Each structure stands twice: as C-alpha cells, then as structure tokens.
Amino acid sequence: MRIGILSIQGDVREHERMFQRLGLESARIRQPEDLVDLSGLVIPGGESTTIGMLMQEYGLIDAIKEKTRSGHFPIWGTCAGLILLAKEVLGPSPARLGLVDMTADRNAWGRQVSSFEADIAIAALGSPPYPGVFIRAPRIKRLGQEVTALASYQDQVVMAESGPYLVTAFHPELTDDLRVHQYFAQKVETYWRG
C-alpha cells in the first residue's frame, strides 16, 4: 500500500511526516507517471489556484480522474485540497478535480478569524476532540446527498466524506494528532484490499 502526496505546493513535508510516524510509506506525486501503483492520494493545503493551475498544466487533473474511474482510489483533500475536490466553488474557481458533490466557499471564515484553532468533536475518531487548525479555510456551503458530514464547527461542516473521498477544511498535518491520517490510511487500506 502506497499513499501519494500531491507535491506541487503546500504542506507536503508535514503530511509526509505524519504518515512516517504511522509507519506508512508515502510518495511525492508531481506528474502523471507518479500515479502508477498508488493506493491513495492526499491533496495538501496551500493555494488552490496555484495547485489547480499546475495540476492542469502537468496533466494531473485528467490522470487523477482516470485513476478514480474504478471507484477505488481514495483521495483526501485538506483545505485547498478540499476546494480542488469540490464540484462547485463560489466566485473565482480554480481548475480542479470536482469529484465531491459539494459547494465550497473560499476564504469564507471572514478576515478577523480567517486563521484560528478550535477543538472539533469528531465522532468517528472518538475522544478527545481533535485540534482543528484553520488557515484561511473554505466553508462548505452545500453537501450533496451522497456526502456524509463527519464533523462541524459553529454549525458549519468542516469534515466530510463521499465514498472514497475525504475532505477536511482544517489542517491535520499541522498538529501532533495522528488520528485523521490514521482514518484516511484505514480508508485506503479498505479500498486497497478490495
């Protein structure tokens, strides 16, 4: 089992370190060829416009979509990664995968509190609550019927999943808490074992 980390821009090393701590192999993904033999993919936080534009330029949007056609290729998007997975984005929208039926509103937590930390209750992870790090995070404005909310903060969904796809508006890679990485790794393993 090999988990890829899209390595165009953003929190690549931070994700790598988390998987390392879990004893899992990860691979840096920069071009379509890197997707061979991959069991799952993480799209890190960063700047969605930049990441989307370069993904398009490198042919990664088509290549990743092709890979998901089997319905067995888990992808987890954190923050900018969430935006790149959203089917709809309000306002100027970046080139993206659009695999999850939801609407994302970029930088929508307002200027004053655009970056903050908050304890998030995530039933799937048990207690204690998870330390959510939000950095100019998107809000999820609409969730499609097939998308399940996994956690909310101030009545806004901040973590959700849809089949093989997982999205978090916050940044688990910037904490010491391995539980979301473990959750995704379990999802990858389930699909990998078929």
Interface with ligand GLN includes 48 (CB under 6 A)? yes
Of the listed pieces 21-29, 35-43, 76-84, 140-148, which binds ligand GLN according to CB under 6 A? 76-84
The whole-angstrom distance between residue 47's C-alpha and the CA centroid of its chain comes to 13
Which residues, in sequence order, are CB contacts of 44 under 8 Å at separation 6+? 5, 6, 10, 11, 12, 14, 15, 78, 79, 80, 81, 173
Beta-strand ranges (E) seen in 81-129 are: 86-89, 100-105, 115-120
Enzyme catalytic residues: 79, 171, 173
Nearer to ligand GLN, 106 or 187 (CB): 106
φ and ψ of 115, to 5 deg: -130, 130
Residue 4 to residue 21: CA distance in whole angstroms = 15
Q: Which residue has the tokens 């039926």?
A: 101
Nearer to ligand GLN, 136 or 179 (CB): 136
Among 9, 68, 107, 182, binds ligand GLN (CB under 6 A): 107
Interface with ligand GLN includes 136 (CB under 6 A)? yes
φ and ψ of 174, to 5 deg: -100, 15
Tokens of 3: 């988990």
Closest CB 53 distance from ligand GLN, rounded Å: 11
Closest CB 174 distance from ligand GLN, rounded Å: 9
Among 79, 86, 100, 167, binds ligand GLN (CB under 6 A): 79
**What does R_g of the chain's alpha carbons equal in angstroms?**
15
Interface with ligand GLN includes 106 (CB under 6 A)? yes
Nearer to ligand GLN, 156 or 189 (CB): 156
Closest CB 45 distance from ligand GLN, rounded Å: 3
Interface with ligand GLN includes 83 (CB under 6 A)? yes
Nearer to ligand GLN, 39 or 168 (CB): 168
Q: In what order do the strands lie in the sheet with 139-143?
A: 86-89, 100-105, 139-143
Among 2, 22, 47, 121, binds ligand GLN (CB under 6 A): 47
Rule CB under 6 A: which residues touch ligand GLN? 45-48, 79-80, 83, 106-107, 135-136
